[in-house]
Amino acid sequence: LTFSLLSVTLLVSFGSSMPYGYNLAVVNSPAEHIKAFYNTTWSQRYGHGLAPGPLTLLYALTVSIFALGGLLGSLLVGVLVERYGRNGALSRSALLVLLAGGFMGFSRELGSPEMVIIGRSITGLHSGACVLLGCAQPLPHDSGSGEGFVFPTGSVEGIFICLGVFSAQVLGLPELLGKDRFWPLFLSAMVVPASLQLLLLHCFPESPRYLLIERNDVCGATKALHRFLGTPDVQDVIEEMREEQRSLSSMEMVSVWQLLRERSVRWQTLSVVVLNAGMQLSGIDAIWFYTNTIFENARIPVSQIPYTTMGTGAIEVVAGLIGCFTIERVGRRPLIITGFCAMGVCSAGITISLLLQAALPWMRYVSVACVVGIIAGFCMGPAGIPFLMTAELFMQSHRPAAYIVGGSLNWLCNFTIGFIFPFLQMSAGAFCYLVFCGVCLLVALYIYLVIPETKNKTFMEISHIFA
């Protein structure tokens, strides 16, 4: 990689994926402070506090509305890129983070829980757009795959998501922003990476692929290629993109409805549904959103919970790095099957440890180990592979529709888990984790029986295996 290309890849990931990971975990540490603020504000407005049920409902909405914003952002990303290009779309998304940070940062001063909820939804809008924008960075392909001027950086994105989660856990320590008076600042701290991205994006050229294929700007694309590739001879790459431009102009893109009705890719479509829904229904969002609550139920001493949570985040980063460096060597299928199986076993382990902790106090540490196992299993396999396999299961004409189906399910299931988990935990107790266990093991079984290894295989080879 040239310095310019590596720099823009890291910058996009830092300003896009890192805030996404941060917002997944940021609501965990200040949960009690935010609930107390909601209760106090309600009492000042109406003369009485909130009952536990409505308070849980309001907080669950605060946590989960991030995913509804993400759903909307993922649906708008195509329009943004077509109109403004990659850099322009990223810049406008960064402005959304500044707006959201203002809403959440001043919410307590203005006595408005609504501002927290609105801010969370806007951060979701940013994440939904930017996670997709960061999944493809400019790089000439040399594999002969015909994919054009696109380099998938899902592994880099996954690492920065883990770093975002970890940074939220570190900043949530009592010695930093974990105190009651700092929670509005804690929620709005993601404006820092977004602001840096906004300031530095203008130093890098626009995506050459966008300039040539969408804008027909040969001169601009040539200059961008010189900058990214560090070589004066880019004519071969220009001709390659010209060929892709001609190919795309003659290709009819499939709509979502056509994709769902097309029999020849029915198993591929079902596989995208299972992978993306299973990724979110595996319980990982419950772990990220409600880690402290889970550890409280496991009777971990309150003073140790923030540091235990931070330890799980550090292991998450390590697991993400392992997955990044082993995926091309091991393959997609073994990693994702192993990841889902590990998550299923550890979910059952949490249930067992919670049921036995009254008789065996050391079972609390088994609960912590199981949470670590769920996170590590997720980061090594299910975290990024579903996005990668979605691209590999379909030809170019079907991929946009497949990404819309997968992405929409991803965000909807994220919202579902974030919203219902507190109520599921209250009603089912320790047995709620068996739901996640069942989902993980069923998804692993489906992958084992249906989905082939996609590494180094063409679409036609994969389609033949499915047939």
Same domain for 287 and 358, yes or no, is yes
Average pLDDT over residues 159-186: 88
CA dihedral angle for residue 218, residue 219, residue 222, residue 226, rounded to 10 degrees: -170
pTM: 0.81
Residue 15's nearest CA partner among 108, 96, 84, 121 is: 96
Average pLDDT over residues 108-122: 93
Same domain for 198 and 307, yes or no, is no
pLDDT in tens, 238-252: 887 777 677 766 667
pLDDT in tens, 373-416: 888 888 877 877 787 788 778 877 787 788 888 888 888 998 98
209 within a domain of the structure (yes/no): no
In angstroms, the CA 316 to CA 302 distance is 22
Checking if the pLDDT of 152 tops 80, the result is: no
Same domain for 70 and 197, yes or no, is yes
Same domain for 199 and 342, yes or no, is no
216 within a domain of the structure (yes/no): no
Asked whether the CA dihedral 368, 342, 165, 409 is positive or negative, the reply is negative
132 within a domain of the structure (yes/no): yes
Contact assessment for residue 282 and residue 443, using Cβ atoms and an 8 Å cutoff: yes
Checking if the pLDDT of 142 tops 60, the result is: no
pLDDT for residue 146 = 35
17 within a domain of the structure (yes/no): yes
Domain boundary among 204, 227, 242: 204
In angstroms, the CA 204 to CA 2 distance is 13
Domain, as residue range, for 334: 254-466
pLDDT for residue 360 = 84
Domain boundary among 183, 204, 225: 204
25 within a domain of the structure (yes/no): yes
Contacts of 421 (CB under 8 A, 6+ apart): 60, 285, 286, 289, 290, 432
Contacts of 243 (CB under 8 A, 6+ apart): none
What CATH number should be reported for the domain holding residue 266? 1.20.1250.20
Average pLDDT over residues 107-125: 92
pLDDT in tens, 298-351: 778 888 888 888 888 888 788 877 777 777 677 788 888 999 999 999 999 989
pLDDT for residue 9 = 67
In angstroms, the CA 50 to CA 56 distance is 9
pLDDT for residue 58 = 92
Same domain for 171 and 296, yes or no, is no
438-450 residues labelled b (16+ CB within 10 A) or e (exposed): ebbbebbebbeee
Percent of the chain with pLDDT over 90: 19
Checking if the pLDDT of 452 tops 70, the result is: yes
In angstroms, the CA 182 to CA 36 distance is 14
- The pLDDT mean for the chain works out to 82
pLDDT in tens, 57-86: 999 999 999 999 999 988 887 777 777 777
125 vs 218, more confident: 125
180 within a domain of the structure (yes/no): yes
Same domain for 178 and 280, yes or no, is no
Same domain for 111 and 258, yes or no, is no
pLDDT band at 149 (very low <50, low <70, confident <90, very high): very low
* Percentage helix, strand, coil for the chain under 3-state DSSP, each rounded to 5: 80, 0, 20
Contacts of 224 (CB under 8 A, 6+ apart): 138, 205, 206, 207, 208, 211
**CB-based contacts of 421-429 (< 8 A; 24+ apart in sequence):** 421/60, 421/285, 421/286, 421/289, 421/290, 422/56, 422/59, 422/60, 422/290, 422/293, 423/56, 423/60, 425/290, 425/293, 425/297, 426/56, 429/354
In angstroms, the CA 234 to CA 222 distance is 7
Checking if the pLDDT of 147 tops 60, the result is: no
Asked whether the CA dihedral 99, 104, 108, 112 is positive or negative, the reply is positive
What is the total count of domains within the chain?
2
Checking if the pLDDT of 207 tops 80, the result is: no
253-275 residues labelled b (16+ CB within 10 A) or e (exposed): ebeeeebeeeeebebbbebbebb
215 within a domain of the structure (yes/no): no
308 within a domain of the structure (yes/no): yes
Q: Which of 230-234, 280-284, 357-361 has the highest mean pLDDT?
A: 280-284
Half-sphere exposure of 188 (CA within 13 A, CB side): 21
Checking if the pLDDT of 172 tops 80, the result is: yes
Judged by average pLDDT, the poorest of 92-106, 199-213, 239-253, 282-296 is 239-253
Tokens 């960061």 locate to 134
pLDDT in tens, 12-56: 667 777 888 888 888 888 988 999 999 999 999 888 888 888 998
Judged by average pLDDT, the poorest of 193-202, 378-387, 454-463 is 454-463
In angstroms, the CA 265 to CA 126 distance is 31
DSSP 329-372: HH-HHHHHHHHHHHHHHHHHHHHHHHHHTTT-TTHHHHHHHHHH
Q: Which two tokens stand for residue 120?
A: 């969370």
